Chain A
Amino acid sequence: MTTTVPADGHRTAFVDNDQKPCGHGRMLRKEDPRFVRGKGRYVDDLQLPGMLHLAILRSPLAHARLLSVDTSLAEAHPKVRLVVTGAMLAEKGLAWMPTLSGDVQAVLATDKVRFQGQEVAFVVAEDRYAARDALELIDVEYEPLDPVIDVRTALAPDAPVIRDDLEGKQDNHCFDWETGDAAETDAVFARADVVVKEDIVYPRVHPAPMETCGAVADYDAVDGKLTLWSTTQAPHAHRTLYAIVAGLPEHKIRVVSPDIGGGFGNKVPIYPGYVCAIVGSLLTGKPVKWMEDRSENLITTGFARDYIMRGEIAATREGKILAVRTHVLADHGAFNGTAAPVKYPAGFFGVFTGSYDIEAAYCKMTAAYTNKAPGGVAYACSFRITEAVYLIERIVDCLAYELGVDPVELRMKNLIRPEQFPYRTKTGWVYDSGNYAPTMELATQLAGYAELRAEQAEKRVRGELMGIGVSFFTEAVGAGPRKDMDILGLGMADGCELRVHPTGKAVVRLSVQSQGQGHETTFAQIVAEELGIPPQDIEVVHGDTDQTPFGLGTYGSRSTPVSGAAAALVARKVRDKARLIASSMLEVSVADLEWEKGSFRVAGDPKASVTIQDIAMRAHGAGDLPDGVEGGLEAQICYNPENLTYPHGAYICVVDIDPGTAKVTVRRFVAVDDCGTRINPMIIEGQVHGGLTDGVGMALMEMIAFDEDGNCLSGSLMDYLIPTSLEVPDWETGFTVTPSPHHPIGAKGVGESATVGSPPAIVNAVVDALKPFGVRHADMPLTPSRVWEAMQGRPTPPI
């Protein structure tokens, strides 16, 4: 079932603002009052008695042998309490830690440094200034080694070996991965009328959250308990990993993730700095705070993308897409720190077949180590779906270019049809539900697509450069079914606990952790819809492992698909118990009760009813309860999703390019999203607006660049540009609703949809504008200089 919203639907949808007493719908966010007043409580706001400050000495070189580290001058600094080197950690067996991809990463370098900014030593001092000053008193002797910077040459036989810490390692090979059927795909390509090939680079970008990463570690030697306040999107997963790595008993570790100033995947990994803070507290017996600065965040923490993709598409002359084939070279930096389910080293890149019904597909990927910062999944990418969608949407446009057909028409001809769902792709993914054509049609209607094409034709005659870009994406979010998906052996199911207090107020405890997504509102609304308690009466507790059930955290747009389902189901469990109590209160059989949001009533007798608040008091109050029913009104659950959810969307971007300066202006952007049931449309729109802005950044300006020596050239926000309100248009959003069949309320994830879907729409628009110059492809970031070079007939890859 799909609800299609008419052209003005996104405007009329504003009408229900805060009108509904409880449940789904537009309402202002419960967390906003504290944020808009500057009263958020972040890790760096934490001040503990006797707290010390930690600063990390980082390598200035990308690749060098560590000859000696002399800390004597730093130790003599009057305010310094502790200086720790890699050698000291090695004595305790803590110099290396596992990454989320089963590789290892140095906490502090012992043998070599492998990327610029790598952690070499740390200082704990009485204040932050002294800690930073003391770093300059540490004398490190390096023997520079040739760095491996260009991933294309990383696997050359004579390339310096970066990971000689790994036993027997003779090259920079990280992993190979393939999906689909090579032979079948080759056969389809061999008989196709048209084959189009394009080399497509998705450069390295950075999530750049407003709040950088940091932690306060507080080890209490009296009760042996470690409390770690840290910027983490996954507090439970982190706690378990600390327990496994450091050998600390898990029940003696409490991880608290307070208010988080943006994550975008940057705060999924465990960084050496967190471990250093823990070691610092263990050794000094004091609370120790570590907050990285902006440059440290940009240079050393989880990057994203860095895929060099050769895309090939096979089709008939009439424009029926037959097959897609791709070879990918992935740059994983110095350590494979990718955060992805274990069986998915390339994340969910396997959905690169996109939204199209095709006959065959194949991908071969090779990943390599380079002397760059580790990471590899971060940045709102739904585990590499950003790269996958960019590849397919760019290559489909290349096909449209070669066939001389309209890109909307080509997509409409090939979209998976509604009757084909659930749809199994040629790479084995089962799309749960979708109704694609109405979404595409709504986008063209909102954009006035035909009129835009007419305007463009007129402008081309006058030499003006206007482009219209289209993308259609299918996301795969909500990891995931535990039979397939785990991170370091931890299954990706989420717990949830709900307790209704005697007066009918409630508290819901979640394992996921908001970084700005509005969980305190959305999850209250989910429970409100199921129980009929106003969202204002429902407290959402999250981000504290001592207060919440186990679960894998918030990333990959998984909170609503997994924990959202858990919240709905736990509320239903409470409702089932409430029904038993209601039947005894109303002295009728359970079968005679009807549920109306917030109360049970006797069928055929509208006056005989009890509210959920009445029932809550009865559950805790005096008097007998029905046989077999315990007091209290609460439940818990652990939800294991049976599949991912597959939201989709159609985006249309209009750009103008100044022919003299080659500067791109995004004039309009129409985004039609289908994320199934919409819990709070305002929050969804906010997420979409943010993701679209991200997309403008990646398409037009963002890139983490390196020089040939491996120096990071993007270590500040002057060098790593992120877009402002002046670079983005007024977003025009619309929606269709195709519920997920397996999610209890039919919702799908949406947090990353716009980040996934918008870059190809923008790049397709720029390339479309450059059609008079014979341009079929140009790589991001499309800065004025790079657009001008494309106009001169020599578009060059950015790396």
Chain B
Amino acid sequence: MQVPAPFEYQRVHSVGEAIALLDRLGDTARLVAGGHSLIPMMKLRLANFEYLIDINELHHQLGYIRVESGLIRIGAMTRHRELLESDELAAAFPIFRDAERVIADPVVRNRGTLGGSLCQADPSEDLSAVCTTLGASCVIQGLDGERVVSMEDFHRGPYETAVGDAEMLTEVRFPVRPGGSSAYEKVERRAGDWAVVSAGAAVWLDGGSIADARVGLAAVGPNTAGIPGIADIMRGRAPGEELYARAGQIAAEACSPVTDRRGSAEYKRHLARELTVRVLRRAVARAGRQEA
């Protein structure tokens, strides 16, 4: 049994209570949601916090998927399993179900949350790539109310986010545009492992041509990164293999993988290309079926 260093623990019942505690305790405190990254790090004593503020009681307030006109809002405490099982979400953004199927295992998915995944900001994290792909924005609540930041601004670097010491991520918003679909692919060494590389794509069709396209990659750089160059070359063009190949080329050039136990940098660059092609192909096929 691996045991963490001593810490104090408080369960809170409102966002206000959590933020007030965070304000008082500063960076010696940490919120715990699903805990599947934080607790192992504490048990290995890689992370040592004096206080843990348990926000699982907030699940009934912040665990939701709300489909509105032109917008889907997902509460930060929504668990992986709820994201996986939501038919409404899968209809609007099939990328979520693609990704959730390959995130960890059922035990982790029962507890882990969308907010926890994003705030952990692991460069290999799948939901960060999904949110980047979908152009999500994050609602961050602080003492003086809330602010909304884009995914690009949310991630500051590996394990770093825009969420301040006395702030908390409460909701993630996804714009819904007509004619769109999406897809996600991951290569892992074993089921439930972190990605060697993964890629998400979202495309929007208008008649026979691409109105917009976004690609998000995980595990090939310090942060999951959107790749604007791909949208630039695809907009206004008819979808096809040649275009996907060019997009794949851009993805491979845009990323900056490193060699580690999951694979060589060269291989990961290859995968960025290969998976970009695959997810674009699949997203376009799905969007095409919707249009038809």
Task: Enumerate chain A interface residues (CB-CB to B < 8 A).
Answer: 44, 128-129, 132-133, 136, 291, 293-295, 660-663, 700-701, 705, 713-714, 716, 718-719, 721, 723-724, 726-727, 783-785, 788-789
* Cα A481 to Cα B90 with chains together (Å): 65
Whether a CB of chain A sits under 8 angstroms from the CB of B145 is: no
Closest to B273 in A: A660
**A133-B6, A716-B44 given; A785·B264 CB < 8 A:** yes
Q: Smallest CB–CB gap between A400 and chain B, Å? A: 29
Contact of A783 among B40, B189, B266, B271 (CB under 8 A): B189
Measured between beta carbons, the chain B residues less than 8 angstroms from A133 are 5-6
- The 6 A-B residue pairs whose C-beta atoms are closest, nearest first, are A785-B263, A726-B191, A785-B267, A293-B2, A660-B274, A721-B190
Instruction: Give 14 A-B contacts (CB < 8 Å), ordered by A residue.
Output: A128-B3, A132-B3, A133-B5, A293-B1, A293-B2, A295-B44, A663-B187, A700-B189, A718-B40, A718-B193, A723-B190, A784-B189, A785-B267, A789-B264
**Inter-chain contact B6/A784, CB cutoff 8 Å:** no
**List of B residues within 8 angstroms of A663 by Cβ:** 187
* Known contacts A291-B1, A661-B187, A721-B190; A785 and B196 CB within 8 A of each other: yes
Q: Are A128 and B190 in contact (CB under 8 A)?
A: no
Give every chain A residue within 8 A of B261 (Cβ-Cβ). Answer: 705, 713-714, 719
- Contact status A727-B187, CB under 8 Å: no
Q: Which residue of A lies closest to B196 (CB)?
A: A784
- Of chain B, the residue at the smallest CB distance from A660 is B274
Of all chain B residues, the one with the shortest Cβ separation from A724 is B191
Complex alpha-carbon distance, A608 and B271, angstroms: 79
Min CB distance B179 to A, Å, is 28
B270 within 8 A of A: yes
Tell me which residues across on chain A come within 8 A of B263, comparing CB atoms.
783-785, 788
Q: Is the CB of B189 within 8 A of A701?
A: yes
Within 8 A of A (CB), among B233-292: 261-264, 266-268, 270-271, 274-275, 278
A716 CA to B189 CA in the complex, in Å?
Answer: 15
A128 with B191: CB separation less than 8 A: no
User: Contacting A128 at CB < 8 Å: which of B1, B6, B268?
Assistant: B1
Alpha-carbon gap, A724 to B107, bound state (A): 14
B→A interface (CB under 8 Å):
1-3, 5-6, 40, 44, 187, 189-194, 196, 261-264, 266-268, 270-271, 274-275, 278
Known interface pairs A129-B3, A293-B1, A716-B44; A721-B189 also in contact (CB < 8 Å): yes
Do A660 and B267 have beta carbons less than 8 Å apart?
A: no
Q: CA of A438 to CA of B271 in the docked complex: distance in angstroms?
A: 44
| Bound CA–CA A598/B267 (angstroms) | 66
In the complex, the answer to whether B193 meets A788 with C-beta atoms within 8 Å is: no
A129–B262 Cα distance when bound, in Å, is 33
Bound complex: CA of A44 vs CA of B1, how far in Å?
10
Q: Please give, as numbers and ranges, the residues of chain A lying within 8 Å of B189 by CB-CB distance.
A: 700-701, 721, 783-784
Shortest C-beta distance, B50 to chain A (Å), equals 14
Query: Could you tell me if A660 and B278 are in contact, using CB atoms closer than 8 angstroms?
Result: yes
The answer to whether B271 and A661 touch across the interface, beta carbons within 8 angstroms, is yes
Can you name the residue of chain B whose Cβ is closest to the Cβ of A135? B45
Q: Nearest chain-A residue to B260 (Cβ)? A: A713
Contacting residues, chain A, for B266 (C-beta < 8 A): 789
Tell me, rounded to whole Å, the shortest Cβ–Cβ distance linking B97 to chain A: 18
CB-based contact B267/A721 at 8 Å = no
**B264 to chain A: which residues have CB within 8 Å?**
785, 789
- A727 contacts which chain B residues (CB < 8 A)? 190-191
Q: How far is the CA of A700 from the CA of B261 in the complex (A)?
A: 13
Distance (Å) between the CB of B264 and the closest chain A CB?
A: 5
Q: A128-B3, A133-B5, A784-B196 are in contact. Are A661 and B274 (CB under 8 A)?
A: yes
Complex contact B191–A784 (CB within 8 A): no
* Inter-chain contact B5/A788, CB cutoff 8 Å: no
Residues of A within 8 A of B192 (CB): 724
B23 to chain A, nearest CB (A): 29
Given contacts A660-B278, A661-B274, A724-B190, contact A785 B262 (CB under 8 A): yes
Name the B residues within 8 Å of A714 (CB-CB).
Answer: 261
Q: Report the minimal beta-carbon distance from A728 to chain B, rounded to whole angstroms.
A: 11
Closest to B190 in A: A721
Complex CA distance for A293 and B189, rounded to whole angstroms: 24
Bound complex: CA A129 to CA B3 (Å)? 6
A701-B189, A724-B191 as given contacts; A789 in contact with B3, CB under 8 Å: no
Q: Given A719-B261, A785-B263, A701–B190 Cβ distance below 8 Å?
A: yes
* A700 to B2 Cα, complex, angstroms: 28
Residues of A within 8 A of B44 (CB): 295, 716
Beyond A660-B274, A783-B262, A784-B263, list 16 extra A-B contacts (CB 8 Å): A129-B6, A661-B271, A662-B267, A705-B261, A714-B261, A716-B44, A719-B261, A721-B189, A723-B190, A724-B190, A727-B190, A784-B189, A785-B262, A785-B267, A789-B266, A789-B267
Residues of A within 8 A of B275 (CB): 661
B112 to chain A, nearest CB (A): 15
| Interface contact A294-B2, CB-CB below 8 Å | yes
Shortest Cβ distance from residue B217 to the other chain A in the assembled complex, whole angstroms: 14
Q: Which residues of B contact A705 (CB under 8 A)?
A: 261
User: How far, in Å, is B158 (CB) from chain A's closest CB?
Assistant: 17
Chain A CB within 10 Å, residue with most, of B3, B191, B264: B3
Q: For A44, what are the chain B residues with a Cβ–Cβ distance below 8 Å?
A: 1
Chain B residue nearest to A783 (CB atoms) is: B189
Closest to A292 in B: B1
- Rounded to whole angstroms, the CA-CA distance of A129 and B190 in the bound complex is 33
Contact of A721 among B40, B193, B270, B278 (CB under 8 A): B193
Nearest-neighbor residue (CB-CB) of A659 within chain B? B274
Contacts of B194 in A (CB 8 A): 718
Chain B residues with Cβ below 8 Å from A716 are 40, 44
The complex places the Cα of A701 from the Cα of B261 at a distance, in Å, of 10
Closest to B194 in A: A718
Chain B residue with the shortest CB-CB distance to A697 = B190
Smallest distance from the beta carbon of A498 to chain B beta carbons, Å? 40
Residue of A nearest to B192 (CB): A724
Chain A residues with Cβ below 8 Å from B1 are: 44, 128, 291, 293
Could you tell me the distance between the alpha carbons of A724 and B189 in the complex, rounded to whole angstroms?
11
Give bound CA distance, A785 to B258, whole Å.
Answer: 13
Measured CA separation A718–B189 after assembly (Å): 11
Which residues of chain B are within 8 angstroms of A132 by Cβ–Cβ distance? Answer: 3
A723 / chain B contacts, CB cutoff of 8 Å: 190
Instruction: Give A726 Cβ to nearest chain B Cβ, in Å.
Output: 4
Docked-complex contact B191 and A788, CB < 8 angstroms: no
Which residues of the other chain, A, contact B271 by a CB distance below 8 angstroms?
661
Residue of A nearest to B275 (CB): A661
A475 CA / B191 CA spacing, docked (Å): 32
A660 vs B57: C-alpha distance when bound (angstroms): 45
Instruction: Using CB atoms, name the residue of chain B closest to A131.
Output: B3
Residue of B nearest to A663 (CB): B187
A784 to B3, CA, bound (A): 34
- In the bound complex, residues from chain B placing their C-beta under 8 Å from that of A789 are 264, 266-267
Smallest Cβ-Cβ distance to A792: which chain B residue:
B266
How many Å lie between the Cα of A291 and that of B194 in the bound state? 29
List of A residues within 8 angstroms of B5 by Cβ:
133, 136
Whether B2 lies near A295 (C-beta < 8 A) is yes
Cα separation A663 to B190 with both chains bound (whole Å): 10
Contacts of A660 in B (CB 8 A): 274, 278
A727 to B190, CA, bound (A): 7
Q: How far is the CA of A663 from the CA of B40 in the complex (A)?
A: 28
Compute how far the CA of A724 lies from the CA of B274 in the bound complex, rounded to whole angstroms.
26
Chain B residues with Cβ under 8 A from A784's Cβ?
187, 189, 196, 263, 267
Q: Give the shortest distance, in Å, between A613 (CB) and chain B (any CB).
A: 48
The answer for the CA separation of A698 and B102 in the assembled complex, in Å, is 23
Least Cβ–Cβ distance between A124 and chain B, in angstroms: 16
The complex places the Cα of A293 from the Cα of B190 at a distance, in Å, of 23
